[in-house]
Chains A and B, each alone.
Chain A
C-alpha cells in the first residue's frame, strides 16, 4: 500500500504533493471552524499512533502478505482530522522505517487520506437510521472501513498499473500488481469488521467520541 521512493515518476510525486497540500489546507480550515478544535486532538493523536503501528501487523494472504492500513477507521472516527493524522503517521513511517518514502509522501497521503474523508461521510450516513441504532453504527462502520480501504487500494492499483517503466518486464510486473491488489480483498472485509467493532465499542463506552 505504501509506495516507496523511486517507483513513481517525478510528475506523479509532484501531483501527489499538490493534492495532499490542498486537502491538508482544506482539512485544517474545516478543523479551525469547529467550536473547540483542540478537543479532538487527543483522539486524533492516539489514532495516529494506531495508524503508525498498524502497518507492522502483517496478515498472510498466500502467496503474499498484507498489512493493516486503518484509514477507513481514522476517517470514520476523526472526520477531517483524519487527513493530517494520516499525513503525520505516513511521515514517521517513511522517516523511521523507510515504509513508503518522502518523495511519495504526498501520493500516499492522498491515496489513503482522501478515502478516509470519504469514509467519514459514509459513517455519517448512519444518521439516516438514527445515531442510537447499534445496527446503523455497525453497518455504516463496516462500510466506512471497507470502502475507505477499498478506494485506497483502487487508487494504488491505478497509479502503479499506469506507471510501470518500459524497461521492466511489464507483463510480470502487471501480474504481480494484480496479485497484490487481489490480496487486499480479504483485508478490506477485515478492516470493515474491525471499524464496525471499534465504532460499536466507542458507542457503548464513550459515545461522545463519535459525535463529529
Chain B
C-alpha cells in the first residue's frame, strides 16, 4: 500500500507542471565579455568620412570581406571581432575612390588605440624638409659654373 502515498504528489506534479512553465516569468541573464572595436574615419581636412563604406577582413582570410558596413555621419563604425581569430584585422574605409586601411592587432599584441596620422608639427617639418630638398636641387643646378671653373 506504500505506493498509494505517491499517487497524489505525482498527480499534483503532472497537473501543475505545464502551469509552472507557463508561469516561469523569472529572468536570467547570461554574459560573455566581448570586445568592440570603434573606428573613426576622417579625411586629411578633418572632415568625417560620413557614409564611407567599411570592409572588415579577418586575419585568417584577408581576401574575403568578413563584415561590411557604413560609417555614421561622424565617420564612426563599431564592430566586434571574433575572439577565436587572433591576429591582425584589416579594416578598410572607402568613399569615392578615396580611403584608407587600418591594421588592428587582436589577441596578444593588442593596443587599446591606434592608427591616426602625424601631428601638424610633424607634417610641417616633413614638408619643409622635402621642399628644402627641391630648393637645394634648384640652387645646385643654377649655381654659377664660373665659380667652380679652374684656371
Contacts and interface: CB of A to CB of B under 8 A. Distances in A.
B135 interface: yes
Contact of B45 (A7, A45, A65, A179): A65
Nearest to B132: A49
Interface residues of B, number: 33
Interface stretch (A119-127, A141-149, A170-178): A170-178
A12 to B, nearest CB: 12
Contact of B126 (A41, A97, A179): A97
A43 B137 CA distance: 10
A168 interface: yes
Contacts of A7: 94, 97-99
A46 B142 CA distance: 11
B138 A46 contact: yes
Contacts of B139: 42
Contacts of B55: 167-168
A46 B96 contact: no
A110 to B, nearest CB: 15
Contacts of B101: 5-6
Nearest to A2: B98
Interface residues of A, number: 36
Contact of B134 (A52, A160, A180): A52
Given A6-B92, A167-B55, A177-B96, A49 B47 contact: no
Contacts of B47: 64-65
A173 B100 contact: no
B141 A41 contact: yes
Interface in A8-64: 38, 41-43, 45-46, 48-49, 52-53, 56, 58, 64
Contacts of A46: 134-135, 138
B134 A99 contact: no
Contacts of A65: 43, 45, 47
Between A45, A64, A65, the greatest number of chain B beta carbons within 10 A of the residue's beta carbon is seen for: A45
A180 B97 contact: yes
Contacts of B137: 41-42, 45
Given A49-B135, A92-B130, A169-B53, A42 B96 contact: no
18 contacts: A3-B97, A4-B99, A42-B142, A48-B134, A49-B130, A53-B127, A64-B47, A65-B43, A97-B117, A97-B118, A159-B97, A160-B97, A168-B55, A168-B94, A173-B96, A176-B96, A177-B97, A180-B96
Interface of B: 43-45, 47, 51, 53, 55, 65, 68, 70, 92, 94-101, 117-118, 123, 126-127, 130-131, 134-135, 137-139, 141-142
Given A97-B44, A173-B96, A177-B97, 8 more contacts: A3-B98, A6-B99, A42-B138, A52-B127, A52-B134, A97-B117, A97-B123, A173-B53
